[in-house]
Amino acid sequence: MKIDDSLFAKYQAGECSTEEIALVERWLDQLDRFPEPQDRKMLMLLENLDNKMPFIKKRKKQSRWKWLAAASILILLSTTVSIYWSKRAAHFQYANIEDIKAPIKSNAIVVLENNTEYDLDKLKRNDTLNAGGYRIVRTNDDQIIYLTDPAQKSKIVYNTIRTKTGGTAHVQLADGTKVWLNTNSELRYPICFTGDIREVALRGEGYFEVAKQERTGRRVPFFVRGNKQTIQVLGTKFNADFTINNETALLEGAVAFSNQGSSLEQRRKDQFSVRIRPNQVYDGKKIIEASDITRYIDWKEGYFDLNDLNVEQLSRKLSAWYGVEIKVDNSLAQVQLFGRVRRDKSLKEVLDLMGQVRPMNYTMKNNYIYIK
């Protein structure tokens, strides 16, 4: 019997006979002994399955198709041949982890100029918050916008949006600039821009789509100010990560950097000596060419991109999103991951997917999760 794309598709659909299942599984078990398949349909099928694969540990000296086939095993066995793979999978120890679900609220607040705080989850879609002289509206697509009275447009009034653990927020500034905030982040901004510059202060991580603005025939510059770095915006779309990663990824336009932090209304002549182009990332020391720049905005699109991440790095992202501390055994910390997982999955679902890749146990005690 011949191994081809039709048999592989039949295997995926769970329609194989016992003999056919045994044949396909022997073929998958001996990947390293086979040359790369030339069948274009099969390669496309494997590629399609690879897109569904959460992640796998990277190994050296393996061609692309073997990675795809290995990825296919995990997806297929989860539906049709789970018994076959269970001989190699981990035995998990469950605690009260079933209760840890993905956040369903924005978990964000807006802080007015008088330090009054409002929970944005209490501001329903199409509702308006009267803040005195201006109004804050939550639109039907969960964006926060401002309606400002004419008398307020000459004053500098600052608001702050702050996201908590598992929180995100989306705000449109007075000039039309749109900002998405990741979890545990903060954006301070004026409700109206005045003068010859536009500036906001960022703590944490945010994705920006900066609107062009001109006054008297001159373009009004836009600055993102952080504790360790200042960004001068020359283009439109970029992700600024001012956390421990300290990475700015440019999707469109151009940005320049001063490797000094600054604060709002701090007037000084900074030297913006570093500039990057689209598909480049700057980490405060060097410029990196990104093969897939969109992986830096995975959080905005609602998933965890695991490519080039190890278990230790992923655990930090999971801790911030689900609100629990995760401790990883040293033997697993550097295991490389592959693929992506949606952020709306429960923590248990994510950890179970990890267990399909590398046998591990996880336990929960006193709001700590231990993976070993």
What is the pLDDT confidence band of residue 72, given thresholds at 50, 70 and 90? very low
Q: Which of the two residues, 156 and 160, has the higher pLDDT score?
A: 160
108-295: CATH number = 2.60.120.1440
**Residue 216, class by beta-carbon neighbours within 10 Å (0-12 exposed, 13-18 middle, 19+ buried)?**
exposed
Confidence label for 51 from pLDDT (cuts 50, 70 and 90): very low
CATH 2.60.120.1440 residue ranges for the chain: 108-295
Query: CA-CA distance, 5 to 25, in Å (whole number)?
Result: 14
Residues of the chain with CATH 3.55.50.30: 302-371
The answer on pLDDT for 206 being more than 80 is yes
pLDDT value at residue 113: 92
Q: Strand order in 230-233's β-sheet?
A: 117-119, 108-111, 158-163, 186-190, 198-203, 222-225, 230-233, 255-258, 274-276
Average pLDDT along the chain = 80
Structure tokens at 42: 């099969």
Q: Extract the tokens encoding 312.
A: 């230790």
> According to the model, what pLDDT value does residue 6 have?
65
Residues counted in the chain? 372
Residue 230 to residue 222: CA distance in whole angstroms: 11
pLDDT(242) > 70: yes
**Cβ(361)–Cβ(367) below 8 Å:** no
- For the stretch 222-237, pLDDT in tens is 999 999 999 999 889 9
What's the one-letter identity of residue 69? A
The CATH fold of domain 302-371: Phage tail protein beta-alpha-beta fold (3.55.50)
Instruction: Say which amino acid occupies 79.
Output: T
Q: What was the pLDDT predicted at 89?
A: 32
Bridge partners (DSSP) listed for residue 161: 110, 187
**What is the value of pTM for the model shown?**
0.72
Cα distance between residue 111 and residue 159, in whole Å: 6
Percent of the chain predicted with pLDDT > 70:
73
What is the C-alpha to C-alpha distance for residues 49 and 12, in angstroms, rounded to an integer?
Answer: 10
**At 72, which helix (H) or strand (E)?**
helix 64-77
Least confident window among 35-39, 129-133, 187-191, 202-206: 35-39
Least confident of 23-27, 311-315, 316-320: 23-27
pLDDT band at 55 (very low <50, low <70, confident <90, very high): very low
What is the rounded distance in angstroms from the CA atom of residue 286 to the CA atom of residue 282? 6
Residue 242 · residue 200 · CB < 8 Å: no
